[in-house]
């Protein structure tokens, strides 16, 4: 059996047994296309997500905070790399995915179209945005597609460090002067609702959810994950001594969950359409960085070619891994 022979029975058996589908296995075209769309969007979000926080690296208030923030932003670049690598196992080229991002044919998470106005935003992003990302991504460690699931294991470990550093930063501000507390509260006020939107539209309006769950790409619906996130955040906000900006937030004894107020989906759709405060800035910066990095990619490819020619001249066998690296460059 080769990858070109359709084999829906094996595919279905793999899913039913909760085993992983691997790159060489046959898979339905729609399953492949769904994964490419999701993994690419995820990878784009990681690298675009570097921008709002990188904005504060030069202005971090201490060497310790600066070192932490640099490490975090660098982690996000790494997450992008693992994910572009995972997408490539599905037969797409990284170059084409980046073109799709730059030309607006593929999306990144709308959360990164909001600005980082103060230092406290670095804390709010870590606590809420990375926190929402973890809630979304922990179940993806059990995604049916092997390379994506394995990439997520490492990403989630790093995201949990991101979440903690944000929480710890906010805690320091919340225990600080009145001005620092006010800055922390203002950041939480601005980031809370967009964080809830990160889980995507309500289940009733989420066209892909049912099929993605049947394929075991997704394990929980958008609303389930959003509820889980709210339930985690409410007691954490209490510990911080900060208020979540939702007067309707209260414990519902019957449901065993916190109820929350209505989400402004009109805002979500507007940001998705490109009308967010920073859409143009983010994509403009990304295009510029890509163009300015062209010489690095060319130099890396030329170096890989030189190494390969040298090995061929020596009569040494070429290493598969290095061949792959050149393609990736
Ligand atoms: Fe990340
Ligand atoms: Fe992160």
- Ligand 2 centre to CA of 163 (Å) is 7
Cα 190 to Cα 185, 198, 287: the distances in Å are 9, 14, 27
The pLDDT score that the predictor gives to residue 314 is 78
Q: DSSP readout, 145-187?
A: BHHHHHHHHHHHHHHHHHHHHHHHHHHHHHTS-HHHHHHHHHH
* Ligand with the closest atom to the CA of 42: 1
- Which tokens in the block code for residue 62? 């201490």
Beta strands in the chain (DSSP E): 250-252, 257-259
* Ligand with the closest atom to the CA of 126: 2
CA 163 – CA 167 distance, rounded (Å): 6
- Ligand 2 centre to CA of 288 (Å) is 23
Question: Mind listing the pLDDT tens digit for each residue in 264-306?
Answer: 999 999 999 999 999 999 999 999 999 999 999 999 999 999 9
- Ligand 1 centre to CA of 76 (Å) is 4
Cα 67 to Cα 91, 115, 161, 240: the distances in Å are 37, 22, 13, 23
- Ligand 1 centre to CA of 6 (Å) is 35
- Nearest Cα to 225, choosing from 211, 209, 238, 236? 209
Cα 138 to Cα 58, 130, 217, 261: the distances in Å are 32, 12, 12, 26
Residues 6+ apart with CB under 8 A from 55: 116
Q: pTM value?
A: 0.91
**In a 3-state reduction of DSSP, which class is residue 251?**
strand
CA 328 – CA 102 distance, rounded (Å): 18
- Ligand 1 centre to CA of 322 (Å) is 26
Question: Mind listing the pLDDT tens digit for each residue in 91-129?
Answer: 999 999 999 999 999 999 999 999 999 999 999 999 999
The pLDDT score that the predictor gives to residue 328 is 45
- Ligand 2 centre to CA of 212 (Å) is 24
- Ligand 1 centre to CA of 134 (Å) is 9
The least confident of 46-55, 83-92, 196-205, 318-327 is 318-327
- Which tokens in the block code for residue 180? 């620092």
The pLDDT score that the predictor gives to residue 2 is 53
- Ligand 1 centre to CA of 159 (Å) is 6
**Beta-carbon neighbours within 5 Å of ion ligand 1:** 46, 76, 79
- Which tokens in the block code for residue 165? 């550093």
* Ligand with the closest atom to the CA of 160: 2
**Beta-carbon neighbours within 5 Å of ion ligand 2:** 130, 159, 162
- Answer yes or no: are the C-beta atoms of 141 and 153 closer than 8 Å: yes
């Amino acid at each position: 059996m080769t990858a070109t022979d359709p084999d829906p029975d094996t595919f279905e058996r793999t899913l039913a047994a909760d085993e992983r589908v691997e790159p060489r296995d046959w898979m339905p075209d729609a399953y492949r296309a769904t994964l490419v769309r999701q993994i690419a969007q995820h990878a784009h979000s990681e690298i675009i997500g570097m921008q709002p926080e990188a904005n504060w690296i030069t202005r971090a208030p201490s060497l310790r905070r600066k070192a932490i923030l640099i490490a975090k932003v660098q982690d996000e670049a790494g997450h992008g790399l693992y994910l572009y690598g995972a997408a490539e196992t599905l037969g797409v080229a990284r170059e084409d995915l980046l073109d799709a991002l730059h030309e607006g044919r593929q999306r990144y998470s709308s959360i990164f179209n909001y600005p980082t106005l103060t230092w406290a935003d670095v804390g709010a992003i870590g606590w809420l945005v990375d926190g929402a990302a973890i809630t979304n991504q922990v179940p993806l460690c059990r995604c049916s597609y092997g390379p994506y699931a394995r990439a997520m294991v490492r990403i989630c470990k790093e995201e949990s460090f991101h979440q903690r550093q944000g929480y710890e930063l906010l805690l320091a501000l919340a225990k600080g002067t009145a001005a620092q507390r006010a800055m922390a509260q203002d950041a939480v006020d601005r980031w809370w609702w967009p964080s809830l939107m990160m889980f995507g539209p309500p289940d009733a309006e989420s066209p892909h959810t049912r099929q993605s769950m049947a394929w075991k790409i997704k394990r929980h619906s958008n609303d389930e994950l959003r509820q889980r996130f709210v339930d985690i955040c409410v007691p954490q906000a209490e510990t911080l001594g900060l208020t979540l900006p939702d007067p309707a937030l209260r414990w519902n004894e019957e449901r065993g969950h916190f109820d929350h107020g209505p989400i402004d989906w009109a805002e979500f759709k507007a940001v998705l359409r490109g009308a967010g405060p920073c859409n143009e800035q983010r994509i403009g910066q990304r295009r510029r960085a890509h163009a300015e990095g062209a010489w690095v990619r060319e130099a890396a490819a030329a170096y890989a070619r030189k190494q390969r020619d040298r090995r061929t001249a020596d009569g040494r066998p070429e290493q598969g891994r290095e061949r792959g690296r050149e393609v990736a460059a």
